[in-house]
Homo-oligomer: A and B are copies of this chain.
Amino acid sequence: MTSIARIEAAARRLSGEVRRTPLLSSPFLDAIAGRRVWVKAECLQHTGSFKFRGAWSAVSALTPDQRRKGVLAYSSGNHAQGMALAASRHSAPAVILMPADAPRVKIDNTRALGAEVVLYDRAGGQDRDAIGARISAERGLTLVRPYDDAEVIAGQGTTGLEIAEQAAEAGIDTAEVLVCCGGGGLSSGIALAFEARAPGLTVRTVEPEGFDDMARSLATGTRQRNATASGSICDAIVTPTPGELTLPVLARLAGAGLVVSDAAAEHAMALAFARLRIVLEPGGAVALAAALFQPEALGGADVIVVASGGNVDMHVFAAAMQRHPV
């Protein structure tokens, strides 16, 4: 399991490679939320999302022989790009299995970062795991799972170490920390970091409507599944069910899960554009949406938000701005 020692070891391996992303704020956002809003801008991370942290952590933890043979990843986009860059900087081959309906920008970027991309038909029922197992066996690749991997969770947890430091610098010792949540790797890593280093900070997961498997799992205490596998604009955080490693951590450490509409996520994207001058993808904006538009679900004078990614096609971004003029 992922311990604080493992997170701190990941932080040492990431030192000099990861960006310490800023904690942004705006009086305009504070006025909407009715409390101070602090935004950890992981969209500014290498490859445009926090996923680079977990990817680097996992690749840097491989043996030299594993690295030489290469890595395999399944991803709709952000883990793919993180793995592609982390692998290429370690001179490790990377094969990424991506759904053919993933955003074009993510597929193109993953290839451009040096990975071999293999597409599969998610809607048509092609078996991703079977394809991956075959390629992996043929070439001796090491599978790096997007969230159910102790080293990946440790890497994502370094986000929590930074938030703990930045919150202390801002004079915040107690706050809810809203985290965009797919399988729960980022949320659980951050929660473990806070448990050890900032016990006054509490993780709340945030998911899109219709894909709230984590919120329902936290509410019922058992792993729940989503009814469908696609259909949200928040593609980056749509996963079938919480991770086996991540759910127990969050059941122990996180508050109740939050759920926001696609429209709220788009509105948050438009406000992040106008008030913070950062680019968020829909799945990277759900936590900010909850902070701004569900103030009654939160407590305290401050709320911290992880803006987890910014890999978005221009037309999706422009449409969000047009629907929500600021």
From residue A27, how far is it (CB to closest CB) to chain B in Å? 7
Contact A27 B322 (CB under 8 A): no
Pick out which of these stretches binds chain B: A53-61, A139-147, A270-278: A270-278
Q: Which residues of B contact A22 (CB under 8 A)?
A: 19-22, 44
Contact B28 A112 (CB under 8 A): yes
Contact A277 B279 (CB under 8 A): yes
Pick out which of these stretches binds chain B: A194-202, A231-239, A310-318: A310-318
Q: Which residues of B contact A245 (CB under 8 A)?
A: none
Contact B274 A43 (CB under 8 A): no
Q: Within the complex, which residue of B20, B48, B112, B321 is in contact with A318, where a contact is CB–CB below 8 Å?
A: B321
Q: Which of A39-68 contact B (CB under 8 A)?
A: 41, 43-44, 48
Interface status of A113 (Cβ within 8 A of chain B):
yes
Contact A314 B325 (CB under 8 A): yes
Q: Which residues of B contact A43 (CB under 8 A)?
A: 277
Known: A22-B44, A24-B44. A322 touches B326 (CB 8 A): no
| Chain B residue with Cβ nearest A26 | B46
Contact B314 A44 (CB under 8 A): no
A-B contacts besides A270-B314, A277-B278, A314-B322, 19 pairs, CB < 8 Å: A19-B24, A20-B22, A22-B22, A22-B44, A24-B44, A28-B112, A41-B44, A44-B276, A44-B277, A48-B277, A273-B314, A274-B314, A277-B279, A277-B311, A278-B279, A314-B326, A318-B318, A318-B321, A318-B322
